[in-house]
Amino acid sequence: MTGDGSITSVADVPDDSTFLFTVRNTETDERKEAILVRLNDEHNDDEDAITGWLNYCQHFTHIKLDKGSGAPMRDGELVCANHGAYFESDTGRCTYGPCEGAYLTELDLEIEDGTVSLADDDYEFVATGPMETDDLDLSSKSNYEF
């Protein structure tokens, strides 16, 4: 951990997927996964425009969008592979699926001199990549709705 909130270089954020990293909630000390998304579509001509979101679908919040190999993207939107929900890359709003109208949790970022840094008072950058351990016990949870 760098201590200054630096996550990665702008060049390391993929054009067609996500960049996975881990943050710590400064109030609760809970670790969560987060993603960076490059915004390069017809609505945004800034090649360095990047957004950050917590890495959890809003339909079932224990489901991760990026499972370690990049979240699927389609027409500039993030796709939840479990539920088929689509999220706008720039706003985090679900445009299609079981959580339509819900929003991903945004992280405040700063981009300076080609480096993406976390600038969110609620979270502290921990490391790139997924959390070391996932404390969720999913053995009794079901993703089926009745």
pLDDT over threshold 80, residue 87: yes
Report which secondary-structure segment, H or E, holds 4: none
Any domain includes 135: no
What is the percent of the chain with per-residue pLDDT over 90, rounded to a whole number? 69
Instruction: Give the structural domain span for 62.
Output: 6-128
CA 106 to chain centre: 8
pLDDT in tens, 6-62: 999 999 999 899 999 999 999 999 999 999 999 965 555 566 799 999 999 988 878
Residue 133 is predicted with a pLDDT of: 62
Any domain includes 64: yes
pLDDT over threshold 60, residue 126: yes
Any domain includes 144: no
Q: What is the CATH number of the domain that holds 38?
A: 2.102.10.10
Any domain includes 138: no
pLDDT over threshold 70, residue 142: no
What is the percent of the chain with per-residue pLDDT over 70, rounded to a whole number? 83
Angle made by CA atoms 77, 83, 81, in degrees to the nearest 5: 60
Any domain includes 68: yes
For residues 112-128, average pLDDT: 96
Any domain includes 137: no
Domain count, the chain: 1
Q: Tell me the C-alpha distance between 20 and 64, whole Å.
A: 11
* Averaged confidence pLDDT in the chain: 86
**Contact assessment for residue 105 and residue 54, using Cβ atoms and an 8 Å cutoff:** yes
For residues 52-79, average pLDDT: 92
Residue 46 is predicted with a pLDDT of: 63
